[in-house]
């Protein structure tokens, strides 16, 4: 049995032209985890997501694509950089969330990268220093 969470969050604002295409953190050894986090970009622009937790990833998520990664159980949050076509950027940090894995269950989490009124994944603005420092 698996447990699924779907976060449709307050991610809107302005998305970022990818500056770090192909920047993916090193994989965690040879171990494979059944837990997945999927980032869906439905915003009309490109995004760069930093996943912060027991493992760290920098995930480019081009417009109209999904990116999924396998992660170990633990507590996580994300930082996202959004830039418009002129290169003006804004940054956000998402609320912490938990990836749970037991002997009989694992997590499948989806986070949608666009602003959703009354969404269930909250974000707030942060500075470029906050984004770059993590």
The pTM of the full predicted model, rounded to 2 decimals, is: 0.74
* Higher per-residue pLDDT: 99 or 134: 99
- 115, pLDDT greater than 70: no
* Non-local CB neighbours of 47 within 8 Å, separated by 6+ positions: 15, 16, 18, 39, 41, 60, 61, 80, 81, 82, 113
- What percentage of the chain reaches a pLDDT higher than 90? 48
Owner of token pair 């049995």: 1
Q: What is the pLDDT of residue 3?
A: 56
- 133, pLDDT greater than 50: yes
CATH tag, 3-132: 2.60.40
């Amino acid at each position: 049995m698996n447990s699924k969470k779907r976060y449709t969050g307050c991610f809107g604002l302005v998305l970022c032209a990818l500056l770090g295409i192909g920047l993916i953190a090193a994989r965690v050894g040879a171990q494979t985890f059944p837990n997945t986090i999927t980032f869906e970009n439905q915003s009309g622009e490109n995004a760069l997501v930093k996943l912060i937790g027991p493992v760290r990833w920098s995930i480019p998520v081009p417009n109209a694509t999904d990116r999924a990664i396998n992660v170990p159980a633990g507590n996580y949050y994300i930082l996202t950089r959004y830039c418009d076509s002129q290169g003006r950027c804004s940054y956000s940090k998402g609320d912490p969330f938990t990836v749970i894995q037991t002997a009989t269950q694992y997590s499948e989490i989806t986070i949608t990268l666009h602003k959703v009124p009354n969404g269930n994944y909250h974000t707030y603005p942060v500075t470029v220093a906050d984004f770059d420092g993590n």
